Chain A
């Protein structure tokens, strides 16, 4: 039930954003995420963005995983 899915912010108006969630356009409440911008990725849980996804951090994780031998 704690499923949260990555989505890209397409448009923001007040606390509501249009997001692209795996190719599906949906509305999400973004009040819990500070200074979120169009083009950024967030995690969506039950219609709310619960956190931004750090693109740099994601790359760092992948780099770490690839370098492991």
Chain B
């Protein structure tokens, strides 16, 4: 496939590794923020190819994984209402809430449908005028513009049985929280390539400048990731902290302006809770007042008790990069992809699932 195969060339990969090996005097912690990068790193066996002095940490860039227990419980509560059709991306269905999951509710008769695109949720709303169709709007800046577009379409077409439950989150505030934390010493970020398509490289400049952490925006093939690591090491060696773009075939400094306009037309920034990271100021998106009619939370007010996470589940620490899945009591012993205890084992891009499958 064009733009894929040529970026997986083994000989070139070996050459980049050789260049990385020249920085053997640097012992560094680098974080790949994005879950899709985590998946590539494990699937292509990049961890094993890297020298020991380069330690890769997986970050909080798996949307399902960072969704708070309370939000998961609210989604489950919405599904219990028989007036509803719940539409969602696949990963959410198996995430265990405090007492149930969407999958269990579905088995009990709830109408939960896995969809590929938010436009399918709109279609379902059109075809089922007697039902309330709720889309679980999850994801980062890559996904929120499409959800915004669908809400605008619903308004334009006067579809009044379509709602979203927004748990959208923003990546740069989470990176700032991790940069501030004393728990970890992150010396370089591989920034998420497709979030950056929307927000552009300029959005990370404050991280590089204020916290002195080098950033490289990387693409999603093996050569992209290796080259991003090389570029980070070069910055560290030269005592620079800048934002560089490795993935410049798709990412521009200002990002995608149309996508940014869609987000700000429909959403406003708010404080939200992340699993593992707590409440991060101005790190989430909620619908603006003029779109309140599409807000599932306002319309149906799902009541949940304070969400309870399994006390033995280390997903929160794994998301902050302070624990490896292998250091969790539940990992592999009772928590497996077939029987997951925490979201990091559910999502295919969760760190625990990646360790389980390829680690």
The answer to whether B142 and A4 have CB atoms under 8 Å apart is yes
Partner of B248, one of A22, A47, A57: A57
Contacting residues, chain A, for B220 (C-beta < 8 A): 3
The answer to whether B12 and A2 have CB atoms under 8 Å apart is no
Given contacts A1-B62, A51-B250, A57-B249, contact A62 B6 (CB under 8 A): yes
- Main secondary structure on chain A at its contact with chain B? mixed
The answer to whether A66 and B12 have CB atoms under 8 Å apart is yes
The answer to whether B1 and A22 have CB atoms under 8 Å apart is yes
Number of A-B residue pairs at CB separation under 8 A: 119
Contacting residues, chain A, for B1 (C-beta < 8 A): 6, 22
The answer to whether B256 and A47 have CB atoms under 8 Å apart is no
Sample of 17 more A-B contacts, CB < 8 Å, known A31-B149, A46-B118, A61-B249 = A1-B64, A1-B347, A4-B142, A4-B197, A31-B258, A33-B256, A33-B258, A46-B146, A47-B120, A50-B142, A50-B146, A51-B251, A53-B250, A54-B250, A57-B248, A58-B3, A66-B12
Q: Give me the 7 closest cross-chain CB pairs, A-B, nearest first.
A: A47-B117, A57-B249, A2-B142, A6-B3, A58-B249, A2-B194, A48-B146
Question: What is the CA–CA distance of A61 and B15 in the complex, to the nearest angstrom?
Answer: 15
Min CB–CB distance B274 → chain A (angstroms)? 15
Residues of chain B at interface, number, CB under 8 A: 52
Question: What is the CA–CA distance of A12 and B313 in the complex, to the nearest angstrom?
Answer: 48
Residues of chain A at interface, number, CB under 8 A: 33
The answer to whether A2 and B256 have CB atoms under 8 Å apart is no
Q: Which residues of B contact A (CB under 8 A)?
A: 1-4, 6-7, 12, 15-16, 19, 34-36, 61-64, 89, 91, 116-120, 138-140, 142-143, 145-146, 149, 192-195, 197-198, 220, 223, 227, 246, 248-251, 256, 258-259, 262, 347, 349
The answer to whether B249 and A68 have CB atoms under 8 Å apart is no
